[in-house]
Structure 1
Amino acid sequence: MNVKLLERVTELTKGMEVFEYVDPELQFRLNDKIQQIENGITELNSFIRGYRFNSVQDEIVYFKEIKPQLVKEYVYLSSLKSFYEKHQDLEIKQSKPYKKEVDRLLYFIRDEKDFYGYIKKTHTHNDERYFRRLSDSGASRTLYNLNADLESSCSHGLLLAKITAYEKLIGFYTRQLNRLKAPVGAEHIKVALPLEWKANKVDAVELVYALYYSGAVDTDKCTVHELAKQFGELFQIQITEQLYREYIDIKRRKLEPARFLVKLLNHFRNKVEEEYT
């Protein structure tokens, strides 16, 4: 069932890339997308209230890995809407509003440093308390679930969604700051590289996630979805639509989750050994 729910979330979040750059003219489309995702959240909640998961792990996957993806985009879009409404056209051409937003979002994340560290370090020891139904978890009420429905919500799902949405917003504002600092006309320079990805799509997803979580790229300036999009543009491959579904499949591999990375390592080692023999 989680696969079908993930497919629904992927469908609802399709086209989000259009909102990754500053453009006040997108406000009407922004409102429509917010309403669409809000309806989707209501739809998921209604379904989950009467659904019984096959296992505790399936329940955790839903509340930790599936629903927060949709709520994250809702928080992201709602924050953008507020930003556009708060700042006039002239203001969004200046650095100050973006710096102020970045500082505000970073303050929030630092204030939740314990849970942020739990997520970033991929801990799981508190998952049954954080990411099961409120009716099952035994977790106490907090600011993030004070009025939440016991059957369709968990203790830390909203907090996870807010943190990941704020990370995405920080990337959004930081990119705009970089554009404002760039020489006039620099944003129009594009380099076309006729490269083609020859391995499987799932291998590309594995590599993208490895780059993202290794710190090899500046994750303050992009989300994993944005990295996958740029990777796809470079190597002429579409991996964003099934990105998270492929990642879940990778995590569920029993013997070796990093198959492609191991393959790359072995090929590289063999090549180096050949050249030194």
Structure 2
Amino acid sequence: MKYSLHKIIDDVSQYEIKIVNEASGSLDEALKMISYLQEVLIALKASVVKEGFDSEWEEINFFRNVKPGVLGKLIYYNKVYRIECACPLGSEKIYRNYFSNQIKELKQEFEENIFNSEFYRYYRSGRNDRDQTFFRLGNINLYDGLNSFVFEIDHHFSTYYDYKVARIIANDLLQNYLHLKIDSIEDSNFKDEEATKDIFWTSSKNALVELIYAMYASGAVSHGKVGIRKLSMIAQIVFSVSLGDLHHAFHRMKTRAGSRTAFLDHLKISLEEYMDKDL
């Protein structure tokens, strides 16, 4: 059976966009995504157990890319739900301290469990020479001193290291989420409700993401010293729009068919047509 990374991840991303637009808040969004992602994993497991893999490459691709892409999101949304549930009510200072502490705890946990490992360096470097060891069923080497949970995993649906990759993905997403939370506090005084109440984004969210990345890549704002998260937060505040996961939106932009800069192309054409009217 063929497992398409782009198809599965795209389906998850499309559903995520739908939920972001429909959810009443972060908790509602997280709960709905947790439920959905659990169903996706259950379906994938049933398919793997029943049909197996057509080739060694397919098995490696599944456990290196496909399953971690789904599981990483599930870990991420479960953590977001727990963070939001425990978030204290209080002053801006209390709010900022809470999310700053969450970043510290996330960093400490990641460094203790993953960051300093040989596998982390292997995965981050983009190597694939040991993929047959890390991402094929039945190759778990207990002599490596693995975490105890290895004895609890389903050996028909995990190589152990697919979970490690999922943790790396979840950590990246959580870092972005927590920094955006802090940025939103720092930028809370930026928005003047009266001045911006009639200003809102009327093109697609993907178009705004494209514009944000273009400004960042060109160094057009503060000589490039303002990061993606900051630019994104400012754009979301000014245009009263929620952009969701910028990283995955940008990934889809890089791999989409046709022009990868469709909105920027449209802006150029529109401006030239506007200039021609004045001739």
Q: Into which bin does the TM-score normalised by the smaller protein fall?
A: 0.5 to 0.7
For 2:179 and 2:51, how far apart are their aligned partners in 1?
A: 41
Between stretches 43-52 and 8-17, larger displacement belongs to 8-17
Does the 8 A contact of 1:13 with 1:37 survive in 2? no
What's 1:170 paired with?
175
**1:173-211 CA distances to partner (integer Å, 9 max, x unpaired)?**
1112122122613498789899xx9xxxxxx9xx99xx8
Report the CA distance between 1:168 and its aligned residue: 0.8
What's 2:107 paired with?
106
What's 2:95 paired with?
94
| 1:72 is the counterpart of 2:92 | no
Say which of 133, 138, 141 aligns to 1:139: 141
Give the number of aligned pairs: 219
Does the 8 A contact of 1:24 with 1:84 survive in 2? no
TM-score (norm 1): 0.63
Does the 8 A contact of 1:9 with 1:70 survive in 2? yes
For 2:9 and 2:28, how far apart are their aligned partners in 1?
A: 22
Report the CA distance between 1:29 and its aligned residue: 3.7
What's 1:252 paired with?
none
Does the 8 A contact of 1:132 with 1:154 survive in 2? yes
* 3-state DSSP of counterpart to 1:124: coil
- 1:122–1:8: structure 2 CA closer, same or farther, 3 Å change rule? closer
- 1:172–1:71: structure 2 CA closer, same or farther, 3 Å change rule? same
* 3-state DSSP of counterpart to 1:14: helix
What's 1:253 paired with?
none
For 1:58 and 1:217, how far apart are their aligned partners in 2?
A: 41
Give RMSD over aligned pairs. 4.1
More helix by share: 2
For 2:201 and 2:25, how far apart are their aligned partners in 1?
A: 28
For 1:168 and 1:99, how far apart are their aligned partners in 2?
A: 16
- Structure 2 residue identity aligned to 1:169: L
Report the CA distance between 1:14 and its aligned residue: 2.6
Unaligned runs of 5+ in 1: 198-203, 232-238, 250-259, 261-277
What's 1:40 paired with?
40
Equivalences for 1:1-12 in 2 at 5 Å? 1-4=1-4, 6-12=6-12
Report the CA distance between 1:31 and its aligned residue: 1.6
For 1:80 and 1:152, how far apart are their aligned partners in 2?
A: 25
Does the 8 A contact of 2:88 with 2:95 survive in 1? no
**1:2-46 CA distances to partner (integer Å, 9 max, x unpaired)?**
4446524432343435788xx983423422221111111111111
- 1:218–1:97: structure 2 CA closer, same or farther, 3 Å change rule? same
Say which of 127, 144, 148 aligns to 1:123: 127
Unaligned runs of 5+ in 2: 218-224, 233-244, 261-279
Report the CA distance between 1:217 and its aligned residue: 9.5
Equivalences for 1:225-240 in 2 at 5 Å? 226-227=246-247, 229=249, 240=252
- Structure 1 residue identity aligned to 2:148: L
**1:107-159 CA distances to partner (integer Å, 9 max, x unpaired)?**
223222223222211122221221111x2x24336335321111111121112
Does the 8 A contact of 2:19 with 2:29 survive in 1? no
For 1:118 and 1:220, how far apart are their aligned partners in 2?
A: 27
- Structure 1 residue identity aligned to 2:70: L
For 1:219 and 1:40, how far apart are their aligned partners in 2?
A: 30
For 1:145 and 1:18, how far apart are their aligned partners in 2?
A: 35
- 1:80–1:101: structure 2 CA closer, same or farther, 3 Å change rule? same
For 1:79 and 1:34, how far apart are their aligned partners in 2?
A: 10
- 1:227–1:150: structure 2 CA closer, same or farther, 3 Å change rule? closer
TM-score (norm 2): 0.63
For 1:219 and 1:130, how far apart are their aligned partners in 2?
A: 33
| 1:156 is the counterpart of 2:161 | yes
Structure showing greater Rg: 2
For 2:61 and 2:227, how far apart are their aligned partners in 1?
A: 27
Report the CA distance between 1:56 and its aligned residue: 1.7
* 3-state DSSP of counterpart to 2:150: coil
* 3-state DSSP of counterpart to 2:128: coil
What's 1:201 paired with?
none
- Structure 2 residue identity aligned to 1:95: R
- 1:110–1:138: structure 2 CA closer, same or farther, 3 Å change rule? closer
